[in-house]
């Protein structure tokens, strides 16, 4: 894909309102020149998250994440850099230009855009056919019986596919699209005799969009029992991977951010009914158990997911896999236990039912506790065989719960219900745990963007960061100090930050590094540069204190080598340096 030009990226940064973008994910209030709020990347009770509207940067002084508006969208929307730039460009009306690229890559990009247009045109056709054709009358009646009104159906672009074998095929060809292109996006397929025909016929059509609202595929519901499968989805294509998709995510994402949670249901009509009832943070997994990819996609948006899904055996296994994926992220999975034989769409047909569903959501149990209860409730505790089976089933569930009070409580519950010693349950749990343990043993390394609060800074780290921030605040003097600083003065992170600043001191906020740890530190330094007293006296004092530490490290190393002559010389240097530090402190006081 062609690279977006640096000029376009800069225009997007200047046009995008970072306070507006961040406010969709956490409440911000002005405090002086900054906006502060609870960090949307880790749990906290006292605000440590800061947004600098002038520099267009954010930083959390608790967990250390930071970056610019584009980086924030990447993290919270689960997008790549280019996709985040394109999303912001669309939102703020910035026209993007691209660098020159390989003609084949440009052709591929143009072809993808062309196929996106084909899918969108088809979605528009299906939607119009639902409301305008006599053939779709039974479909309209069915949707009405399900309690879905015209407003929500049009909002989700629900449509109807004609019964003719080649309506979409012929319309697409008349619009200039090739048969191969219609096949490539799953709208047409080859028959046994070699001809082509529409994949979707006589079905209610649910277009499936990505977060940006682009149509990637369809789900089609049959209107009669002789049509084969009740639901048919777009086959796997370069565009459409069902296991990665969440139905309604484009319309739910803002509500998810405001509510701080996502409600996951199974079917298309479940999603529509919940949105109609005011639960617009609902998304759907389209009739299957939730997948690891779907959990991963949600983890970039929200920290709590409530599952209102079928709890059959296949569903339980999928939930266990989902819990393992969530365990490596700052994410909590809960389960709203649906009454047997009811689905959300049936439940929320009236206000009383909608309120009942809301109560189920509010009372949702943590996923491990729900799964343990399912196992224990179906166990005949009078049978030693069944007790052994139950213990074998709950052990991997417990192993996925981080050590702490919650896991201890579940262990006690299992032991009491199965009439076993807690030590025996703990022994089975330990055996079930992944060898590597921790987040990497539960489905991958936790993203840096949701890392927890680290250890307190050392005195050297505090001094080096104060000095580096002052270098940013006073670039002419900062260049001199950056030249004097060596890796021996600094921590490893500080040395990397100093090296980066030597190349980017003129405007560090406009060309942030891509590596997450360095990005967080540079963002913090830029923000500190506006707060840190930036006098020459303060810069010199911080440098001298770092020089003292460097000398003391050299003195210790010389002693270990038994190089007493070198140690004596360094000790004399330190004595002179201590006098300079004392003088600098008197001048600065």
What is the extent of the structural domain holding 258? 244-363
Rounded CA-CA distance 271/46 in Å is 35
* pLDDT of 350: 86
220 and 267 belong to one structural domain: no
Show which of 209, 225, 240 is a domain's final residue.
240
Show which of 408, 442, 476 is a domain's final residue.
442
pLDDT of 14-36, one tens digit each?
A: 999 999 999 888 889 988 778 99
161 and 123 belong to one structural domain: yes
- Give the containing element (helix H, strand E) for 378: none
Of 261, 253, 322, residue with least CA distance to 293: 322
* pLDDT of 216: 94
Rounded CA-CA distance 338/347 in Å is 10
Q: Are strands 262-265 and 215-222 parallel, antiparallel or unpaired?
A: unpaired
* pLDDT of 124: 97
Instruction: Flag whether 493 is in a domain.
Output: yes
Supply the CATH number for residue 433's domain. Answer: 1.20.50
571 and 501 belong to one structural domain: yes
- Give the containing element (helix H, strand E) for 335: strand 332-335
Instruction: Flag whether 452 is in a domain.
Output: no
In this prediction, residue 314 has a pLDDT band, given cuts at 50, 70 and 90, of low
Supply the CATH number for residue 29's domain. Answer: 3.90.580.10
pLDDT of 219-261, one tens digit each?
A: 999 998 888 889 999 988 887 888 889 999 999 988 887 888 9
85 and 198 belong to one structural domain: no
* pLDDT of 435: 40
Phi-psi group of 176: left, alpha or beta (phi > 0 → left; psi -120 to 50 → alpha; rest → beta)? left
Whether pLDDT at 528 is above 70 = yes
318 and 427 belong to one structural domain: no
* Percent of the chain whose predicted confidence (pLDDT) is above 70: 90
234 and 248 belong to one structural domain: no
pLDDT of 446-478, one tens digit each?
A: 323 222 344 467 778 888 999 999 999 999 999
Instruction: Flag whether 448 is in a domain.
Output: no
209 or 2, which is more confident?
209
257 and 274 belong to one structural domain: yes
Show which of 240, 270, 294 is a domain's final residue.
240
* Number of independent structural domains in the chain: 5
Rounded CA-CA distance 125/153 in Å is 14
Of 352, 318, 354, residue with least CA distance to 335: 318
**What one-character-per-residue DSSP string does 18-82 give?**
HHHHHHTTS--EEETTEEEE--SSS--SS--EEEETTTTEEEETTT--EEEHHHHHHHHHT--HH
Phi, psi at residue 189, to the nearest 5°?
-145, 160
540 and 582 belong to one structural domain: yes
Instruction: Flag whether 98 is in a domain.
Output: no
Q: Which two tokens stand for residue 5?
A: 């030009």
End-to-end, the C-alpha distance of the chain in Å comes to 57
Instruction: Flag whether 106 is in a domain.
Output: no
pLDDT of 425-442, one tens digit each?
A: 887 776 665 443 333 332
Supply the CATH number for residue 250's domain. Answer: 3.40.1360.10
* Angle CA 446–451–455, to nearest 5: 130
287 and 233 belong to one structural domain: no
Whether pLDDT at 215 is above 80 = yes
Instruction: Flag whether 454 is in a domain.
Output: no
408 and 476 belong to one structural domain: no
| DSSP label of 247 | B
Instruction: Flag whether 186 is in a domain.
Output: yes
* pLDDT of 398: 83
In this prediction, residue 444 has a pLDDT band, given cuts at 50, 70 and 90, of very low
Q: Is 100 helix (H, G, I), strand (E, B) or coil?
A: coil
582 and 475 belong to one structural domain: yes
Instruction: Flag whether 196 is in a domain.
Output: yes
For helices 81-92 and 69-77, angle between their N-to-C axes, nearest 10 degrees: 110
* pLDDT of 442: 27
**What one-character-per-residue DSSP string does 503-524 give?**
HHTT-TTTS--SSHHHHHHHHH
Query: Is the CB of residue 158 less than 8 Å from the CB of residue 239?
Result: no
538 or 449, which is more confident?
538
19 and 69 belong to one structural domain: yes
């Amino acid at each position: 894909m062609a690279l977006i030009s640096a000029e376009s990226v800069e225009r997007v940064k200047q046009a995008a309102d970072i306070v507006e973008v961040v406010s969709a994910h956490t409440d911000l209030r002005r405090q002086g020149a900054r906006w502060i709020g609870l960090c949307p990347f880790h749990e906290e009770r006292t605000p440590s998250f800061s947004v600098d509207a002038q520099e267009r940067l954010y930083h959390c002084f608790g967990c250390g994440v930071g970056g610019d508006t584009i980086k924030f969208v990447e993290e919270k929307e689960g997008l790549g850099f280019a996709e985040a730039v394109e999303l912001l460009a669309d939102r703020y009306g910035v026209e993007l230009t691209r660098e020159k690229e390989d003609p084949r890559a440009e052709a591929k990009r143009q072809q993808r855009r062309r196929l996106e247009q084909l899918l969108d045109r088809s979605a528009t056709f299906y939607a119009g056919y639902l409301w305008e054709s006599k053939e779709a009358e039974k479909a309209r009646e069915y949707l009405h019986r399900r309690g879905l009104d015209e407003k929500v159906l049009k909002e989700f672009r629900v449509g109807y596919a004609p019964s003719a074998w080649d309506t979409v095929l012929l319309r697409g060809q008349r619009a200039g699209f090739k048969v191969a292109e219609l096949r490539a996006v799953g709208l047409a397929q080859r028959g046994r005799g070699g001809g082509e025909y529409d994949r979707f016929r006589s079905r209610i059509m649910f277009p499936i969009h990505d977060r940006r609202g682009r149509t990637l595929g369809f789900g089609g519901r049959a209107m009669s029992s002789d049509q084969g499968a009740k639901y048919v989805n777009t086959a796997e294509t370069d565009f459409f991977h069902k296991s990665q998709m969440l139905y309604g995510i484009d319309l739910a994402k803002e509500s998810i951010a405001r509510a701080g949670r996502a409600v996951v249901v199974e079917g298309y009509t479940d999603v529509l009914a919940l949105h109609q009832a005011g639960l617009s943070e609902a998304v759907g997994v389209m009739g299957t158990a939730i997948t690891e990819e779907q959990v991963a996609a949600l983890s970039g948006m929200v920290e709590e997911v409530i599952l209102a899904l079928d709890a059959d055996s296949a569903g339980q296994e999928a939930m266990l896999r989902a819990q393992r994926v969530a365990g490596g992220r700052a994410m909590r999975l809960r389960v709203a236990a649906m009454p047997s034989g009811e689905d959300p769409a049936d439940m929320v047909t009236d206000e009383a039912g909608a309120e009942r569903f809301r109560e189920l959501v509010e009372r949702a149990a943590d996923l491990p506790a729900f799964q343990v209860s399912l196992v224990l409730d179906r166990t005949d505790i009078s049978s030693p065989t069944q007790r052994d089976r139950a213990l074998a089933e709950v052990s991997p569930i417990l192993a996925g719960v981080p050590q702490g009070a919650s896991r201890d409580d579940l262990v006690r519950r299992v032991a009491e219900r199965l009439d076993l010693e807690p030590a025996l349950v703990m022994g089975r749990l330990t055996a079930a745990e992944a060898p590597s343990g921790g987040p990497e043993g539960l489905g991958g390394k936790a993203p840096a963007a949701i890392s927890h609060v680290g250890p307190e800074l050392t005195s050297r780290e505090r001094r080096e960061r104060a000095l580096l921030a002052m270098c940013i605040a006073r670039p002419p003097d900062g260049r001199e100090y950056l030249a004097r600083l060596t890796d021996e003065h600094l921590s490893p992170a500080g040395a990397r930050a100093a090296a980066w600043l030597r190349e980017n001191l003129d405007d560090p906020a406009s060309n942030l590094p891509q590596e997450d740890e360095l990005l967080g530190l540079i963002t913090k330094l830029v923000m500190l540069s506006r707060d840190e007293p930036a006098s020459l006296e303060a810069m010199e004092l911080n440098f001298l204190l770092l020089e003292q530490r460097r000398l003391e490290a050299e003195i210790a190393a010389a002693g270990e080598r038994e190089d007493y002559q070198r140690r004596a010389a360094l000790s004399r240097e330190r004595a002179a340096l201590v006098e300079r530090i004392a003088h600098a402190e008197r001048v600065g006081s």
